[in-house]
Amino acid sequence: MNRDYAEIQEVLIAKRQELASRLERITQNITAGHSADSEEQAQELENAEVVDALGNETRRELSKVASALAQMENETYGICVDCGEDIPLARLRAHPFADRCIRCATAAEARTMR
């Protein structure tokens, strides 16, 4: 693994730890008890929905980080999954779990907006 990727790997490992801690806190928050007051219960339900959405987003991000780390192990990190071209190092530093070059990421985004 090249030195630049080793630095990115350290960032990804730290991000994985941060996300795992966040997910643990979210899980604890969701499983906390509820109030007996019906008005407070309504507010708690709204809060629980927001916390659940945050948990889902955290799980998606954890999945992306795990995928990037697996690509590093498989020596496919930094290669666009669509076109097979190298992803510029500047993009990987800015977005370490990017699996597409800018051109392919833009095209994929445009397809999802249709």
pLDDT at 27 (0 to 100): 83
Q: What is the mean pLDDT of the chain?
A: 87
Contact predicate 1/68, CB 8 Å: no
- pTM, two decimals, is 0.78
Question: In 10 A of CB 12, how many CB atoms?
Answer: 21
Structure tokens at 65: 């980080």
pLDDT tens, residue by residue, 81-110: 999 999 999 999 999 999 999 999 999 998
C-alpha–C-alpha distance, residues 104 and 83, integer Å: 7
Residues 25-49 have a mean pLDDT of 69
Res. 13 pLDDT band, cuts 50 70 90 = very high
All structural domains of the chain, each given as residue ranges with its CATH number in brackets, are: 3-113 (1.20.120.910)
* 3-state SS track over the chain: CCHHHHHHHHHHHHHHHHHHHHHHHHHHHHCCCCCCCHHHHHHHHHHHHHHHHHHHHHHHHHHHHHHHHHHHHCCCCCECCCCCCECCHHHHHHCCCCCCCHHHHHHHHHHHHC
